[in-house]
Amino acid sequence: MRGPIRVDEALELAKQIAEALEEAHEHGIVHRDLKPANVKVTPDGKVKVLDFGLAKAWSGESHPVSGSGALSQSPTLAHTGTAAGLILGAAAYMSPEQARGKAVDKRADIWAFGVVLFEMLTAERLFDGETVTDVLAAVVTREPDYARLPAALPPAVRQLLQRCLRKDPKRRLRDIGEARVSLDEAAKGGDADVSSVVQAGTHVRPAAAWRRVLPWAVAAFALALAGLGQWRAAQPGPPPMRK
């Protein structure tokens, strides 16, 4: 990758990737090998997710990875075992549960989706290392550095990435369709809810708020003073002094 993809372009590409995964998941299929090498963009800007060679039917239950562990389950690793770069490429997008050889379901695709989107926005590998072991160790133990994301990224997309990249699959985003909706709304500028504004560090200026409130406050204060004057005028005067 030559450099980061523009935020608006990255969001559009990511939305189309999410749509492809959503279609597969709705048919009970988990890709399990999503990575940039398996994502192609046609000349007219359409995204195609390729290489479902590792895809597995999913019935709503998690599927334990059997055999010699997660590495043996990747077509990249199994078919190109002599190409170290490709091996590292496969490992970099594995979910923590895949790296540990544990149960795998559609949430592994959601993790890989988050890794791919992170890489599109930063032009850097989220998890890297000199060997497969180093990469898998990073996947399992290292937390993403969200400070590397572009400052112009909508807060809702930043939150989406954090949900996709939770190491515990029970706390991870559960449906890639939610990612598609979030990306679509962010692309249209519809993510400016109160919580997002606060988290982005963008606050309403106090001066602007006071300009709206001050005229009403002055009027209320004036009425209070007038009422106090009328009350005092209605009070009986002190008794006359006796000589």
User: So which residues are the catalytic ones?
Assistant: 33
For residue 211, give the H/E element and its range. Answer: helix 206-234
Burial class of residue 94, CB neighbours in 10 A (0-12, 13-18, 19+):
buried
Sequence-ordered list of residues with C-beta below 8 angstroms from that of 80, at least 6 positions apart, any chain? 86, 87
162 in Cβ contact with 172 (< 8 Å)? no
Question: Coil, strand, or helix at residue 185?
Answer: helix
List Cα–Cα distances, 75 to 23, 141, 234, in angstroms. 22, 24, 94
List Cα–Cα distances, 87 to 66, 91, 102, 191, in angstroms. 19, 6, 19, 38
Distance CA 105, CA 178 (A): 17
Closest CA to 179 of 73, 21, 3, 1: 21
